[in-house]
């Protein structure tokens, strides 16, 4: 037989804490390890309630679990973070068992383990941040290189055109416009990679998008490659930017084409997946729930482990010099993450590659934007009876403001020009009763576009507004959302795009005023 004093010595020798609580949560027995875990002596604990020893513990989730086990006479195993009176923390693995006296609680101190896990997580985050910064550095260097090439073309071509006695020819202008379009595409790729491109989401059926895109895809492929597009499976609708989704599919198909050296096959299909919470945790940015999956599979050369590790890095490419830019998959990655989706890749050298794009299903059809702060407006209507108006044009760059003014004046609009928000407020004070439309840049140093809209709308709520921006999401994230009825035109835009949007807004404003006057 073991004497009570011997049993107490044995329990005190254990590394595990042992404590027995009475029905009133009074400490009836505490071994040495349990006292160490609680940072009090056995004498300070025995005979006292848990609430008096650790004030406030009765309001914690741990105590709620204790109470439940005491009432229901049930067992429980859990990990608990304990905050001590001095502010420090300890982590314990606890096993709660009902006993005739009340509850027996066994505890193991896992604080060192948790601290090591937290330190490892911080190190992994710093490493990921370092890799991200390195990728951004490569991206910035590549963009600077490509952009300088385009600027060289535009500046040189402009100077040559001006040096001609007869003036610029049509070919001169076409070369300049082609270089400008290439530059615009480059900035869109950059914004897509950084996940700051403004999206125009709509609830769509991906099957319809793929069927509409199929003829173009076939034209990009050579006869040696078979294209199979399977969209017959009924799939839930998604809320996406149609143009960006088309860009994803096109990039993946072009990559697949380049990965097939001889004859081969590219298959595009749709699938459905219900993602669990664990799936979402394993893929940051992914939400649990129903998802539609776009799968693009090829029979090409496949990728080795090193290529798979770097495939989404900007400017990383396995193609020959002058064949690929290395931005295709980086762009795909940015677009997918901006849509709160994820990409799964399966590739084996010599057997081909499969990309699976997971996009969350739309809960119900909606025209409200849910991905970007503000969506691009639908294509403007072309009015048979053109209306002219007085337009306040605001931009902090004089060359941009003057260009917009020239375009509008050529279409017979009256233009009030303001360089910056402060000048716009003064112009509004003098001419507010004549202004039919405000055109303002979103990002200005003195008064931001959203702030200017709020100020002028406070004076006249029916003012029509067209905002311009080269990176709308970044500005709106800082300055706040714009009202839903404010139109957005992204830079770069053409004179035709500007005039069509202005005509749509002017016609609406004039129509409302005429209707109001008739009343």
C-alpha torsion 176→182→184→185, nearest 10? 170
Q: Are 333 and 286 in contact (CB under 8 A)?
A: no
Residues 86-121: tens digit of each pLDDT: 888 899 999 999 999 999 999 999 999 888 888 887
Give bridge partners of residue 414 from the DSSP assignment. Answer: 390
Is 372's pLDDT higher than 50?
Answer: no
CATH code for the part of the protein at 4-109: 3.30.450.20
Distance separating alpha carbons of residues 439 and 404, to the nearest angstrom: 9
Output the pTM of the full model: 0.41
**Number of helical (H) and strand (E) elements in the chain, helices listed first:** 17, 17
Distance (Å) of CA 474 to CA 6, 49, 419, 459, 469: 70, 55, 22, 27, 10
Distance in angstroms (rounded) separating the CA atoms of residues 351 and 24: 68
294 pLDDT more than 60? yes
Look-up of token digits 């970007």 = 372
Q: What was the pLDDT predicted at 183?
A: 74
Read off the tokens for 63. 């105590």
Which whole-number Å values give the CA distances from 299 to 215, 229, 254, 264, 344, in the listed order?
Answer: 21, 15, 13, 6, 17
Question: pLDDT of 298-337, one tens digit each?
Answer: 999 999 888 888 887 765 666 654 444 556 787 788 888 8
State how far the Cα of 33 lies from the Cα of 344, in Å rounded to an integer: 48
| Per-range mean pLDDT, top range of 228-237, 407-416, 487-496 | 407-416
User: Is the pLDDT assigned to residue 376 strictly greater than 50?
Assistant: no
Q: Cite the beta strand spans of 110-164 per DSSP E.
A: none
> Encoding tokens for residue 240?
């996406």
CB 286 within 8 A of CB 341: yes
pLDDT tens by residue, 254-274:
888 888 988 899 999 998 888
Task: Say which CATH class 390-518 falls into.
Answer: alpha beta
- Collect all residues with Cβ–Cβ distance below 8 Å to 243 and sequence separation of at least 6: 200
Q: Phi/psi at 273 (nearest 5 deg)?
A: -145, 135
Quote the tokens at residue 330: 């980086």
Give me the helix-helix angle, 170-193 and 111-163, nearest 10°.
180
Q: How far apart are CA 70 and CA 22, in angstroms?
A: 9
- What's the start-to-end Cα distance of the chain, in Å? 104
pLDDT (tens digit, 9 = 90+) per residue, 424-477?
Answer: 999 999 999 999 999 999 888 888 888 899 999 999 988 999 998 876 655 555
Fold agreement between 4-109 and 202-360: no
Closest CA to 509 of 387, 423, 349: 387
User: Within the chain, what is the greatest distance between any pair of CA atoms?
Assistant: 117
Mean pLDDT of 123-139: 64
- Cis amide prior to 484 (ω within 30 degrees): no
In DSSP terms, 439 is beta-bridged to 393, 466
In this structure, the chain runs to a length of 519
Sequence spans of domains, the chain: 4-109, 129-193, 202-360, 390-518
Distances in Å between the Cα of 75 and the Cα atoms of 59, 98, 100 are: 21, 7, 13
Check residue 481 and give left, alpha or beta (phi > 0: left; psi -120 to 50: alpha). beta
Q: Which two tokens stand for residue 249?
A: 């599919």
> Where do the H-state alpha helices sit in 302-420?
305-310, 328-338, 398-410
E-strand spans in 178-298?
201-204, 225-230, 238-241, 264-275, 289-298
Query: Considering the domain 202-360 in this protein, what is its CATH number?
Result: 3.30.565.10
How distant, in Å, are the alpha carbons of 432, 500, 519 from that of 437? 10, 14, 22
């Amino acid at each position: 037989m073991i004497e009570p004093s011997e049993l107490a010595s044995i329990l005190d020798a254990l590394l595990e804490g042992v404590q027995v609580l009475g029905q009133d949560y009074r400490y009836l027995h505490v071994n040495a390890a349990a006292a160490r875990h609680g940072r009090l002596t056995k004498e300070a604990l025995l005979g006292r309630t848990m609430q008096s020893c650790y004030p406030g513990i009765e309001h914690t989730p741990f105590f709620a679990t204790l109470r439940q086990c005491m009432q229901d006479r049930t067992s429980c195993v859990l990990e608990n973070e304990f905050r001590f009176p001095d502010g420090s923390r300890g982590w314990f693995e606890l096993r709660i068992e009902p006993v005739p006296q009340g509850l027996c609680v066994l505890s193991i101190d896992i604080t060192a383990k948790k601290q090591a896990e937290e330190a490892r997580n911080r190190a992994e985050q710093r490493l990921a941040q370092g890799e991200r910064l390195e990728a951004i550095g490569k991206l910035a260097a590549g963009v600077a290189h490509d952009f300088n090439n385009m600027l060289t073309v535009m500046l040189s071509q402009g100077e040559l055109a001006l040096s001609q006695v007869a003036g610029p020819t049509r070919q001169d202008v076409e070369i300049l416009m082609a270089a400008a379009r290439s530059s615009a595409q480059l900035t869109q790729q950059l914004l897509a990679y950084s996940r700051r491109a403004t999206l125009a989401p709509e609830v769509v059926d991906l099957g319809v998008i793929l069927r509409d895109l199929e003829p173009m895809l076939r034209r990009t492929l050579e006869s040696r490659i078979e294209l199979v597009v399977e969209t017959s499976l009924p799939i839930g609708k998604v809320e996406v930017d149609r143009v960006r989704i088309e860009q994803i599919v096109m990039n993946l198909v072009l990559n697949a084409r380049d990965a097939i050296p001889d004859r081969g096959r590219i298959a595009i299909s749709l699938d459905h997946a219900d993602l669990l919470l664990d799936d979402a945790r394993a893929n940051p940015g992914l939400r649990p729930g129903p998802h539609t999956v776009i799968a693009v599979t090829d029979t090409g050369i496949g990728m080795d482990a090193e290529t798979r590790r770097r495939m989404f890095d900007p400017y990383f490419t396995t193609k020959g010099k002058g064949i690929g830019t290395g931005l295709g998959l980086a762009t795909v990655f940015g677009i997918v993450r901006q849509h709160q989706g994820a990409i799964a890749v399966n590739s084996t050298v010599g057997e081909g590659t499969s990309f699976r794009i997971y996009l969350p299903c739309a809960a119900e059809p909606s025209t409200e934007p849910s991905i970007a702060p503000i969506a691009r407006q639908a294509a403007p209507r072309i009015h048979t009876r053109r209306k002219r108006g007085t337009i306040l044009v605001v931009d902090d760059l004089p060359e941009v403001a003057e260009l917009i003014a020239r375009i509008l004046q050529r279409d017979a609009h009256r233009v009030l020009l303001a360089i910056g928000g402060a000048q716009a407020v003064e112009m509004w004070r003098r001419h507010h009763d004549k202004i039919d439309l405000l055109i303002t840049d979103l990002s200005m140093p003195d008064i931001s576009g959203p702030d200017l809209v709020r100020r002028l709308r406070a004076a006249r709520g029916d003012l029509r507004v067209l905002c311009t921006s080269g990176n709308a999401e970044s500005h709106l994230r800082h300055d706040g959302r714009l009202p839903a009825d404010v139109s957005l035109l992204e830079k770069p835009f053409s004179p035709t795009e500007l005039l069509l949007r202005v005509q749509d807004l002017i016609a609406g404003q004039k129509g409302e005023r005429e209707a109001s006057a008739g009343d």
